[in-house]
């Protein structure tokens, strides 16, 4: 056997060993994605403008655009440019269990990161900051939380909003009847049809629903803010390898300034399906979070 052939065989063997070692080094979510050839993204159906279906039943939104940047980073890390992306619809009630049991790898929507949820799942760097408020019909003359005493109200099942509402109802002995809706669209419809006096939800989602309503001028969003809600994409808990890829991708997106272009696309320009313009500039809290990327679930960080 010639020296050249021997060297070639040794080189090929070394490459094989390196590939084997590289494959063995992958763990958790990245290994799952590489082995299956697919990354599974959880998305919402009506969380405008974060994650929702457009007029062509295509999943679009601000959160989806950010998550696709993460997908690009995963493709580059795994050297899999043809990695498949599977879309899996989730609700407020199913999103955490589906991350926790490994059905989805990343959940891209309007999910609040808080310390309680961090016990079950992981979160990416924050990409939006909102607050818990209510929407009512102007004709109802509801001005404060106290005005809703004894009335029927609604919030979406599985959200931090309905948890807060239930606790506050008991603390203040308000006697409200609380209906858990399956999604935001159903909850808003209950106010629209008079089945509920108020819908408690994050103000940005309420603004989107009002702007999309048949008669937007019929509604008013309460001035009282009850909690700070930092939004982030969910991912499996305690997966350091996957988190490094996700955090690096989002931090680079924020620091490069590209995030502001994506933000403007969804909050400062007409968006599908109805061409509404939310006309919502970045808040000081969001600017702070984007300038100094954080995945903290502590509300005080965003004050």
Whole-Å CA distances, 153 to 134, 156, 200, 295: 9, 11, 8, 32
Say whether pLDDT at 14 is over 50: no
Helical pair 240-256 and 62-78, crossing angle rounded to 10 deg: 120
Quote the pLDDT of residue 6: 43
Say whether pLDDT at 130 is over 90: yes
* pLDDT tens by residue, 67-88: 999 999 999 999 999 999 999 9
Query: 303: pLDDT confidence band, cut at 50, 70 and 90?
Result: confident
Average pLDDT in the chain: 92
Lowest mean pLDDT among 11-25, 194-208, 276-290: 11-25
Quote the pLDDT of residue 24: 53
Q: What end-to-end distance do the CA atoms of the chain give, in Å?
A: 72
* pLDDT tens by residue, 148-176: 999 999 999 999 999 999 999 999 999 99
Place of tokens 């999103």: 95
Q: Domains (ranges, CATH) in the chain?
A: 27-127+232-302 (3.40.190.10), 131-229 (3.40.190.10)
H helix intervals, 92-239: 95-100, 160-171, 184-192, 203-212
* pLDDT tens by residue, 211-244: 999 999 999 999 999 999 999 999 999 999 999 9
Quote the pLDDT of residue 13: 42
* Element at 88 (helix H, strand E): strand 84-89
Instruction: With H, G, I as helix, E, B as strand and everything else as coil, classify residue 83.
Output: coil
Percent of the chain residues topping a pLDDT of 70: 92
The stretch 99-105 carries a mean pLDDT of 97
Cα angle for residues 221, 191, 57 (degrees, 5° grid):
90
Quote the pLDDT of residue 167: 97
What is the DSSP secondary structure assignment for residue 276, as one 8-state letter?
B
8 Å CB contact between 142 and 136: yes
Say whether pLDDT at 98 is over 60: yes
């Amino acid at each position: 056997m010639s020296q050249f052939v021997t060297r070639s065989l040794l080189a090929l063997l070394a490459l094989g060993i390196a590939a084997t070692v590289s494959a063995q080094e992958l763990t958790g979510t990245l290994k799952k994605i590489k082995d299956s050839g697919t990354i599974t993204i959880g998305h919402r159906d009506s969380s405008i403008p974060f994650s929702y279906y457009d007029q062509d039943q295509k999943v679009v939104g601000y959160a989806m655009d950010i998550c696709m940047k993460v997908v690009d980073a995963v493709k580059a890390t795994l050297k899999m440019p043809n990695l498949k992306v599977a879309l899996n619809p989730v609700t407020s009630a199913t999103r955490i269990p589906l991350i926790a049991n490994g059905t989805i790898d990343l959940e891209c929507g309007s999910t609040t990161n808080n310390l309680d949820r961090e016990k079950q799942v992981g979160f990416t760097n924050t990409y939006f900051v909102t607050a818990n408020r209510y929407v009512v019909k102007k004709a109802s003359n509801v001005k404060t939380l106290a005005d809703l005493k004894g009335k029927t109200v609604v919030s979406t099942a599985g959200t931090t909003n309905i948890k807060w509402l239930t606790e506050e109802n008991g603390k203040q002995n308000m006697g409200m009847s609380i209906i858990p809706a399956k999604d935001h669209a159903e909850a808003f419809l209950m106010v629209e049809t008079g089945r509920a006096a108020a819908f408690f939800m994050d103000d940005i989602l309420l603004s989107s629903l009002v702007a999309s309503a048949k008669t937007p001028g019929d509604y008013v969003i309460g001035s009282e803010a009850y909690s700070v809600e930092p939004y982030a994409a969910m991912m499996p808990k305690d997966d350091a390898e996957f988190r490094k890829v996700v955090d690096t991708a989002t931090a680079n997106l924020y620091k490069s300034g590209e995030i502001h272009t994506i933000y403007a696309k969804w909050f400062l320009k007409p968006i599908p399906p109805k061409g509404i313009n939310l006309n919502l500039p970045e808040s000081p809290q969001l600017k702070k979070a984007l300038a100094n990327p954080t995945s903290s679930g502590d509300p005080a960080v965003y004050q």
